Amino acid sequence: MVVGIDGAFVKALPTRRSQRRQLEVITGRIESAQHRGEAYAVVRDLDSLAKQRLRAILRQCGRGPKTEITVLSDGEDGLRGLVGSWFGKRCRPRLDWFHVARRIERIRKGFLYLPYDQDFQQRIADHNANLNSMKWMLWNDGVEMAEFGMTGVRIGLFQHALSRPEADRQRFLDLEDRLNELRSYLYANREATRGYAEAHRSGERVSTAHVESTVNQLINWRMCKKKQMAWSRRGAQYLLHVKTAVLSGRLERYTGNYSKDQAIAA
């Protein structure tokens, strides 16, 4: 079973008991032999039953005592702690490759703003080659080997800086900060960065791109980007129940005369 998970925030409706400005929604998709693309969404904030709701959905999708679960997430602190406590011991976290690659590409773009000299094109090619080598090591061998590749990137940047002692060092410092941020991010998710190449060759998911589309369908249009509505916890959860039922094609269980065409239109 593969579970993609992501988080989003919606505007909260102030009440006498609480003046919270936002509610956190945990959403994503569950893929198994029985269910291909079952959407789920639970309001995490102020809901003591959120974990039980998600586990009930997993059981409905075929999870048993011995089911192995791969959980794909962006690896941020809040979701990383949630994965460990909500999915149980038979859970293997995997860091979303899309978020890793996006950080690497931010470093690559920074190369274009380094001080220019007559060997600039060759230096940029060398920097890109070092970065690609680091990315390949991470894809195939994990964080420990990627550390060697990252050292190669740093050495190349250091040599570039030495060749232009009169140039502004801020561009090099910015790249150093991005490399440090990437390193911290990878080591915080060290156990979730293993086996990308093997998983990809086996046809397993290594990215949460399908979850991003689920977030857009469930939350962003209705709750964030277009309507800008404020929601109570219960109201948000009820709407999410309906939306997930529509996306998963099971709204007819709850409404006797609701056709598939109407569900698609909704």
pLDDT digits (tens, 9 = 90+) for 56-79: 888 888 888 888 888 888 888 777
Stated as kind and residue range, the H or E segment containing 23 is strand 22-31
Distance in angstroms (rounded) separating the CA atoms of residues 104 and 154: 14
CB atoms < 10 A from the CB of 112, how many?
11
The per-residue pLDDT for 147 is 92
- Mean pLDDT to the nearest integer, 150-154: 95
Phi, psi for residue 170 in degrees, rounded to 5: -65, -35
- Mean pLDDT to the nearest integer, 110-117: 88
Mean pLDDT of the chain: 81
Q: What is the pLDDT of residues 10-64, one digit of tens each?
A: 777 776 666 667 888 888 888 877 666 777 888 876 556 777 878 888 888 888 8
Residue pair 175/107 in contact by the 8 Å Cβ criterion: yes
pLDDT at 246 over 80: no
Greater confidence, 90 or 211?
90
| Alpha helices (H) in the chain, listed in sequence order | 50-60, 77-86, 97-111, 120-141, 143-163, 170-188, 196-201, 209-215, 233-247, 260-265
The per-residue pLDDT for 218 is 64
Please give the torsion angle defined by the CA atoms of residues 79, 82, 84 and 89, in that order, rounded to the nearest 10 degrees: -130
- Residue 116: alpha-carbon gap to chain centroid: 36
